[in-house]
Amino acid sequence: MSSKLDQLRKMSTVVADTGDFSQIATYKPQDCTTNPTLILKAAQMPAHAPLVEEALKWGRSQKAEIDKITDRLSVNFGVELSKRVPGRVSTEVDADLSFDTAATIAKARELIADYEGRGISRARILIKIAATWEGAQAARVLQAEGIDCNLTLIFSMAQAVACADAGAFLISPFVGRILDWHVKNTGQTYTQETDPGVISVKAIFHHFKVHGIKTIVMAASFRNVAEIEELAGCDRLTIAPQLLATLAEHDGVLLPQLIAEKASKPTPPPIREADFRWRMNENQMATEKLAEGIRFFARDLKSLREMVAQRL
């Protein structure tokens, strides 16, 4: 019998959540996602030293600011990853711009311009943006320009709907971080079937399919293989290398749990900003986890910038 990873590939597009080239070679995903945390980790690996040195050399020659050199480094990784996967590479906009629509748009355009200047089509890149209201509105503008977006850090239906309303190419609803919050705040033990992160993604997937919403649902942030198995059939799944390894090592029957339903309901009216903010206000988990996620990515982006500054 084929491995669970091979079976999963027949149900969902498998995406690697890593910036490590060796892991890409091992698991051969369709797409790859990165974030400041993953780039920071990958940049410290000896095998990736040439990418860091190139960014530093470029920065010195251009007398560039630290944030521009860091952008250069992120795109360096993205270019190399695009050579190793047949599909898309997600590159994240600075987390500290998550509440600034205009700055997010400007940064996304700069990143795409850098990619295209190196011969990488925008059709190969997803610009990754935090799913704040401001992020969704930035995606609306970028999508109209043919810049496809991955709206990340999604913890609620309100976020998912706002991003779909904006025409986002893809959303990344998180699973494990939702589970973390509920375990911490309720003290309960959850099974594969009652995992609140899994339930959240299933609800979003169902809502999108029955309303004929085209935005791709890519579940992210898994804590265990059971969560992945319970979401087999989701449009895409972005999975960390250690969980890809577990799936590759085990066989046994893996059945689809999510099946795209035929659109049967009219698309609901767009969510208004006031409604979005109220629904987020009423959802303590989503509000806390979104804020925490932005802080953590901003922290690691700061560490990446500090590493670049020290190396200069």
Confidence band of 160 (pLDDT split at 50, 70, 90):
very high
Task: Identify the pLDDT of residue 121.
Answer: 98
Task: Identify the pLDDT of residue 94.
Answer: 97
Averaged pLDDT, 240-245: 97
Q: What percent of the chain has pLDDT above 70? A: 100
pLDDT tens profile 8-60: 999 999 999 999 999 999 999 999 998 889 899 999 999 999 999 999 999 99
Domain boundaries, position 99: 4-311
Task: Identify the pLDDT of residue 286.
Answer: 98
What's the number of domains the chain is made of?
Answer: 1
Distance CA 135, CA 122 (A): 19
pLDDT tens profile 90-132: 999 999 999 999 999 999 999 999 999 999 999 999 999 999 9
pLDDT tens profile 218-236: 999 999 999 999 999 999 9
Buried b (16+ CB within 10 A) or exposed e, 232-258: bbbbbbbbbbebbebbeeeeeebeebb
CATH of the domain at 107: 3.20.20.70
- What is this structure's pTM? 0.96
Would you give the distance in Å from CA 242 to the centre of its chain?
Answer: 17
Q: Which residues are designated catalytic?
A: 128
pLDDT tens profile 186-219: 999 999 899 999 999 999 999 999 999 999 999 9
Task: Identify the pLDDT of residue 36.
Answer: 87
Beta carbons within 8 Å of 45's beta carbon, 6+ residues apart: 20
Averaged pLDDT, 129-147: 98
